[in-house]
Each structure stands twice: as structure tokens, then as C-alpha cells.
Amino acid sequence: MSTETTDATEAQQKWKPPPEGCPCWVEIPARDTEALKAFYGAIFPSWEWRPAQSAEDQSKVQHYSFAEPKGLSGGIVQMPEGCAPTEQTMGSGMTVYYLVDSLDDMEKRIHECGGSTCLGKTPESSHGWFMNFRDPEGNRFGCYEFRRS
């Protein structure tokens, strides 16, 4: 048994599901899981990448966990053969927002890593600002910056 498989098995055994109603998985579709792993790893260095649960799974799912809240994880998942990317237009579907220290810095990193902006910096009441981006596969996601006092 490989160390990677053993590590994955141990991680599975230690994992405790979050309470009912809490987010438990954030799935990001990709044609090239390794390339999208590199993109998100570059823009969010706090994500912890985990080994696949099997050798077959390695090319299909790139597993990650968030630093906080503990237990929330996700995967960059290989799209089925023949499934073309779609452009999720603003206002359609769900959007996951990631907290960032600076939207301006994040926007620069996203562009350097091959992503794009689809909604510029927008104020949200008196709490902060948000922006929407697309990763290199066309998936839309948001980032939020709290207003500092």
C-alpha cells in the first residue's frame, strides 16, 4: 500500500462531518484538474491539498481543505468526457465567496494566474466590498474584503 493511499485513509478516518446545514464540500469542475489546482493553489496558498483516495481518483479529483472552518473541504473534479465548459452568467447559479485581505491584490494575482474579472469592486453596505472572477476553466467565484475601521 502506498504512503499516499495510507495518508488518505487515515485522513478519512479522522474526518468528522460538520453539523447539519453547514457547507460540507465545494466542487469546482475542470477539464484539467492539475492546471486548476495550480491556479487555486497560487491565489489561495492557505488551501491544504490532500492525496487522492485512490490511484484512479488522483487524475479525477484534486482534494483540498480550507484552513477555516475546519472540516470544510472540496475538490477540483474532472468534467465528464464531452462536457463543454459553460459560462455562469452573473445572477445565475450559486456563487462561493472567499474572504481576502485585499481585493486589489487578489485581482492582480488572479489575472497573473490566468483568471479574469467579471464584476468589479462593488460596495456592500458599510461592511466591505466584493468582486466576482472567473478561473481559467470559466467557473465564477467571488471574493470579499471587509472594511477596516
The ranges assigned to domains in the chain are 22-146
Task: Let me know: does 29 contact 137? Beta carbons within 8 Å.
Answer: yes
Q: Are 135 and 40 in contact (CB under 8 A)?
A: yes
Q: 447539519: which residue's cell?
A: 20
pLDDT score for 78: 86
- Over the stretch 39-83, which tens digit does the pLDDT of each residue have? 999 999 999 998 877 666 667 889 898 888 877 888 888 888 888
> At 2, is the pLDDT very low, low, confident or very high (cuts 50, 70, 90)?
very low
The pTM of this model reads 0.78
- Retrieve residue 134's grid coordinates: 472567473
Strands 97-99 and 73-78: unpaired
Determine the topology of domain 22-146 in CATH. Answer: 2,3-Dihydroxybiphenyl 1,2-Dioxygenase; domain 1 (3.10.180)
- 144 CB-near residues (< 8 Å, 6+ apart): 97, 98, 99, 100, 124, 128, 129, 130
Assess whether pLDDT exceeds 70 at residue 7: no
Contact 130, 142 (CB under 8 A): yes
Phi, psi of 131 (to 5 degrees): -140, 155
Q: Using CA atoms of 28, 31, 37, 40 in order, give the dihedral in degrees to the nearest 10.
A: -50
pLDDT, tens digit (0-9, with 9 covering 90-100), for 92-143: 777 899 999 999 999 999 999 999 999 999 998 778 999 999 999 999 999 9
The pairing of strands 116-124 and 128-134 is antiparallel
Task: Tell me what pLDDT residue 18 has.
Answer: 65
Q: In what order do the strands lie in the sheet with 140-146?
A: 97-99, 140-146, 128-134, 116-124
